[in-house]
Amino acid sequence: MTQKKAQTIAILGINGRIGQEAAKAFVAAKWRVIGMGRGNRAELDGVEFVEGDIAFPKQTVRAIADADVVFNAINLPYDKWDKGRAEASLANVLQALEGSGKTLLFPGNIYNYAADQHMITPDTPQHPEKDKGEIRKRMEGMLAQASNDDNIQVIILRLADFFAPGAEGTVFDLMMMSRLKSGILQYPGELSTGHSWAYLPDVGRALVKIAEARKSLPRFENLHYQGHFASGHQMIGAIQDVLPKPAKVKKVPMDLLKVIGWFVPIVREVVIMSYLWDEPHQLRDPKLAALLGADFDTPFRDAVHKTALSYLPAKQRTAPKARLSTT
């Protein structure tokens, strides 16, 4: 019997948190995984590393040559999106893909929508609230045009805020858990307001499902990953479950961050986008839900428990089994 050839994915930005989780999921699904980056900081098992920089499309062409699917996991620093830099970064990737017939997976976000657009589906009109949303809307326009003109398939997977064990640089990491050693948990919004979350190991598995179903999808597809919708009370409560003793809960001091933002551009950008914590945005997509199947997501409390435990010293990382099975 002839063995079926493994499918191949090239991940651009292998060192980033979503790039790493995608790589782990595709390796587990028996895909051949090629990871491109400017250095091999992640050193992931099962990933063939290729050194390269998307600023040089020929390097990207070399990295993706054998790939059936390309995942663009590259995201510029939060304060470097302006002056056309985010669009230029994407243009370099699209130039490398032009005429290849490959599938491009692209992670979207909810910046494209207005503050009062609380239920967001693939059919929801895009009315960006801030400049970052305008940038993302333009980038998605570039993707739609490329799928029409450049002989590539483009699939956007829209995601909410990330969290996962070891996922540094997320809101969960930088804001909520940053003062845990002092016995303090912080939350950016009102504890009674709902917020949408994407557990990165589940996102990785969702990307695999989408990639394997790509031939049944149109040339340009916009999918919304629902993930978890939880109030601040629910999120903080799930974190508290696994702490050795209850932490004090404080609100992130946005007024102080505004002052810091005068001197630190990346903090300024975080404050500008803080309106997202005041609005109960939810992602819905029956088409993607059907593709993923019932009970696809890791239960919310399990996901939060695993993530919160990763912030504790090794000797404190044993939580009661009853807690870790709570949904």
What is the per-residue pLDDT across 148-160, written as a single tens digit (0 to 9) for each?
998 999 999 999 9
| pLDDT band for position 321 (cuts 50, 70, 90) | very low
Sheet holding 32-37, edge to edge: 47-51, 32-37, 8-12, 69-72, 103-108, 153-158, 220-224
Query: Which residues lie below 8 Å from residue 266, measured CB to CB, with a gap of 6+?
Result: 77, 78, 79
Give the model's confidence band at 317: pLDDT under 50 very low, under 70 low, under 90 confident, else very high. Answer: confident
pLDDT one-digit tens code per residue, 224-248: 999 999 999 999 999 999 999 999 9
Strands 153-158 and 248-251: unpaired
Q: What angle do CA 87, 90, 96 make, to 5 degrees?
A: 140
Please report which helix (H) or strand (E) contains residue 88, including its range: helix 85-97
- pLDDT averaged over every residue in the chain: 93
| Statement: residue 217 has pLDDT above 60 | yes
For 189-201, how does the pLDDT look when each residue is reduced to its tens digit (9 = 90+)?
999 999 999 999 9
20 pLDDT more than 90: yes
pLDDT in tens, 117-145: 999 999 999 999 999 999 999 999 999 99
Place 323 in a pLDDT band, splitting at 50, 70 and 90. very low
